[in-house]
Structures are given as C-alpha cells and as structure tokens.
Amino acid sequence: MAGSNSFDIVSEVDLQEVDNAVNQTVKEISQRYDFKGSKVEVQLDKDEIKVHADDDFKLKSVHEILRGKFSKRGISVKALDYGKIEKSGGDTIKQVIKIKKGISKELAKEIVSLIKNSKLKVQAQIMDDQVRVSGKERDDLQAVIQMLKAKDFDTELQFTNYRSS
C-alpha cells in the first residue's frame, strides 16, 4: 500500500558563500587598475551588501564583479535584490543590495495556485517562508518539481526535505 510522500519548496542562500563572494569582490576591486584612486567600498552586513562608489559606472562595475563571484560560488544572482541608488556625501553614491531568503507570501500563493491548476493529485500548503507539497505518487511530486523548474520565478527555488512514509 502506498503511503504519503512530501517535499518542501524553499529559497535558501548559504551566507558563508555570500561572505566569500563579497570578500573576493573586495579583493578584485583593490587589484583592478580601473578602480585605482577611487573610493569604492563593499561590505556585508547580516543579510545585505552595502556598496559605496564614486559614480554610476563604478557601481555597475561592482555589480558585474559581484554577480560573477556569486555565479562562481554557486549562488544564484536571483538572490540579490538591488535597492535604489542614493546620493551619499561628497559626490559619491550608495546602494543597499538585500539578500533574498525564503519565499515571499505572494510567490508562495502563486506556487500553490500553479500546483492546484496543474490538476496533479497533490496538495500544497504554505508554511512560513516555504511551501510543502505532498501526495501519494512520487511521479506526481516529480512532475510538480519539473513544472516549477520550467517556470522562471524571480527567486531561486530549491526542493528539499523529501519524505516517504
């Protein structure tokens, strides 16, 4: 007799890898010729990255370096939520880049709606910042995973905590 199977849909970011990526970005900025003599700072503060730069061009360069370092360390660039660019003291600009963790309520509702509209024999429920999907057939659960992987969300999704009973 078939039991119940379930898995969780989450959006997690390894903060140690984020720290490593930010440190590598700082190191590359200190070594690059096009940043010589400029006041560019990048620092990680809990779950946000604070960037100070001389001008818009330098800020865009920092974004490119940061995205490259994130990609090399296996962190999705979808985890970066760019705040608005603000003027800072003395002709410099600053920006706060938040690191998205967890699934927002709106995205969770969208995922549950997609799963219900798929007509697969599974149930989806929102649990804080994750979605649990359960059903009797493993194939249905795998179909849900494939359907969600095919859809491009603005948040990177992981499928964890698979349980079979």
Task: Give the global pTM.
Answer: 0.78
Cα–Cα distance between 41 and 53 in angstroms, integer? Answer: 7
Question: Residue 91 region, left (φ>0) first, then alpha (ψ -120 to 50), else beta?
Answer: left
Q: How far is CA 10 from the centre of its chain?
A: 10
How many domains does one find in the chain? Answer: 2
Print pLDDT tens along the chain (165 aa): 456 888 888 988 888 999 999 999 999 998 888 888 888 888 988 889 999 888 888 889 999 999 999 999 888 888 888 899 898 877 889 989 999 888 888 888 888 888 888 888 888 888 888 888 888 888 888 888 888 888 888 888 888 888 877
Report the CATH number that the domain containing residue 81 is assigned in CATH: 3.30.70.990
87 and 120 part of one domain? no
85 and 156 part of one domain? no
Tokens of 47: 């779950």
Written as one string, the DSSP assignment of 38-87 is ---EEEEETTEEEEEESSHHHHHHHHHHHHHHHHHTT--GGGEEE---EE
122 and 151 part of one domain? yes
Final residue of a structural domain among 99, 132, 153: 99
Radius of gyration of the chain (CA): 20
Pairing outcome for strands 122-127 and 130-135: antiparallel
Cα–Cα distance between 78 and 155 in angstroms, integer? Answer: 5
64 and 107 part of one domain? no
Sign (positive or negative) of CA dihedral 33, 34, 38, 40: negative
Report the CATH number that the domain containing residue 131 is assigned in CATH: 3.30.70.860
Final residue of a structural domain among 50, 74, 99: 99
57 and 77 part of one domain? yes
Which residues constitute the domain of residue 146? 5-12+103-164
54 and 113 part of one domain? no
Final residue of a structural domain among 47, 77, 99: 99
